[in-house]
Each structure stands twice: as structure tokens, then as C-alpha cells.
Amino acid sequence: MSASPDQPPSLPPPIVTTRGDRRTLEFTPGDIQSEMRLSRPDALVLPYARAMMCFALLAPRPRHILMVGLGGGSLVKFCRRRFPRARITVLEVRADVIALRAQFQVPPDDARLRVLHCDAADWLARAGAGEPDAPGDVDVLLVDGFDAAGLPPALASAGFYAHCRRALRPGGVLVANIFTYDPAYVSAVQRLQAAFDGQVCWLSGIAGNNQILLAQRPSLPGAAPGRALRFLRDTLGNRGLGSALANRLLARLVLAWLAWRPQRR
């Protein structure tokens, strides 16, 4: 969720519901934004959240993960466990969402985790204002911010994607979650393609109406895409394993690989 930190008092409060082993977060009734298993709080339940972890195909061992949107903290908890060498910074605009951390078992801030109450678009614009041509220190940037109307314009503008690219290290990966039925979908994809010199790919149908886009900052100005991105974009034609069902299975296999591989600290 992202808007101005001075959120209007008329904004409906988030809805937290617990049924058995499941706890959900909604911003509008019936529209589940985040879901947690109380017995396994670090597990990813929703297909779109699992799909976003496919960034590991391009950046398997990130050192700094930046997230736009906290929600119920599913991505935070998973990344904190499965990427033990990474520090995680989260940008969340709503104080009432941050206040739900304990209910969703999001750990408190420490040396590896910081949750900042701020407007993500403004924060990213300011972060690189001093040296506009200098690369940032972010290896993976997860953009998962919505408001009641859908994708906020501030999180789909050409300027925002340019600031995201600047925040990334060379070879760093942006992961954007955009609804395919959002009126801003086509223009947002076009802006993302332009900001990243066409180095953008996706896995068709992997999360239903949630399109998970992967964009990689070139390792050098004008450099060709990395091998993994070329394989997904060109060899597979952005279709992944060829069907939505197979691609959802691929996302689960990525999660299984992350759980199996040695945990380097």
C-alpha cells in the first residue's frame, strides 16, 4: 500500500480476520492482500507472493533487499529466513499497517531489518538525488504497493521506475506486481521497459491476474541482458514452462530450492 504518509482520516482501516490456522489482511472487504498460516508464519500462502520470489532465478544471493509495501509482512518474513545474508529495508506509507506487525509475527527492527514509515516514491527520489549517475546498493527491489483504486500513479510513473533503476546495483533486479486488468497496466509495462532498456521478463500466468514483472539493471551501460534473463525473455518467450499451471509449479520449485540450499550467513 502506498500513498502519502499524511493519510486522510477517512481511509478505511485494514481488516484482520483469523479463521482457524489462517490470518488475512484486507484493505477492502473480500480482497485479500496478505495471508499467513499461524502454524508456519514464514511460509508464502498466496500465489503472487510465491511468484515474486522467482527473482532468485536472476539474483540468487542478494545482500540488500528493498521492499515497497509491508502489508502482512509475508515477503519480509520469507526473505529474512531464506536470505540470511541480506539486510531488508521496507517502505510503508500507512502507520496502521505497520501497527499490525505483531499480529502478523513480523520481527522487530534489528541490524538486518528496518521498516520505515514513508512515501516510497519520495524516498526513492531523495535517495539518489545527490549523485544521480551513481548506482545504488540494492540487489532486489520488490514493488508491491496498491491503494483502493489499484496501482497508484506514483508507483507506475517513468520517474519512479528511473529512481528504482538508480537504486539498484548493476545487475540488480526489480520485481513489480501489477494487475493485468488495471487500466494503467499497459502504460506501466511500457515505462518499465523504457527505464530498463528492455531488460524485462515475466512468467506468463504464474499468478493469475497478478503479472509479476522482472526487470534487471544492465551490468554495464549498453550491456546485453544477463544469461538468466535472456533465457526467460528470449528462449522461453516470457511463457516460462508454457502454461499458468506449470509456471505456478515452477514458483513452488524455486521456493523448495531456496529452502534446500545451504544457508550461508
- As annotated, the active-site residues are 144
Pairing of strands 138-143, 64-68: parallel
Q: Residue 112 gets which letter from DSSP? A: S
Listed in order, strand segments (DSSP E) in 144-260 are 168-179, 200-202, 210-216
Whether residue 177 contacts residue 185, with contact meaning beta carbons closer than 8 Å, is answered with: no
* In the block, residue with C-alpha cell 521496507: 90
112 touches 88 (CB < 8 A)? yes
Helix or strand or coil: residue 50?
helix
In the block, residue with C-alpha cell 496498491? 146
192: nearest Cα among 180, 210, 174: 174
**How distant is the alpha carbon of residue 116 from its chain centre?**
16
In whole angstroms, give the CA distance from residue 255 to residue 232. Answer: 18
Q: Does the CA dihedral 126-78-260-112 come out positive or negative?
A: positive
